[in-house]
Structure 1
Amino acid sequence: MLTIKPRLRELIKERGLTQGQLSEMTGIPQASISRFDKNEQHLDWHLFSIAKALEVSVEELFKIEE
């Protein structure tokens, strides 16, 4: 069984950003970014917008454990 967890908190911290700044960069409401970070909701266009803003692949937004 795969376990998939967001790495968003780690990625924005590495870049010295806040969720609010990422929200401004992507046009995604901060509440939606928070839900993504809590693994509650992942809208497809959010994934691509966040990955592009953080300059990572969509896969890199997640930690996948088997």
Structure 2
Amino acid sequence: MNIIIELKTDDGKAIGAMTAPPKDFKTGSKGFYANGKLEIEGKRYQVQIQLVEIGSKPSGEQK
């Protein structure tokens, strides 16, 4: 399953969309992740979305 992220202004105008596929993070946690660039009013921005499942890190794992 992928997560579709829609970015909108406060008045509802769509300014971008991203797809966040599942990710196993280096910490052992699981979730979804996406990054990219978008343009808003002629300026470019870098976007990063991270959804981490609470409690998904294996117990007893130390960094």
Instruction: Give yes or no for TM over 0.5.
Output: no
State the TM-score bracket (shorter-chain normalisation).
under 0.3
Structure showing the higher strand proportion among its residues: 2
Q: TM-score, normalised by structure 2?
A: 0.26
Higher relative contact order (CA 8 A, sep 6+): 1
| Higher helix fraction (1 or 2) | 1
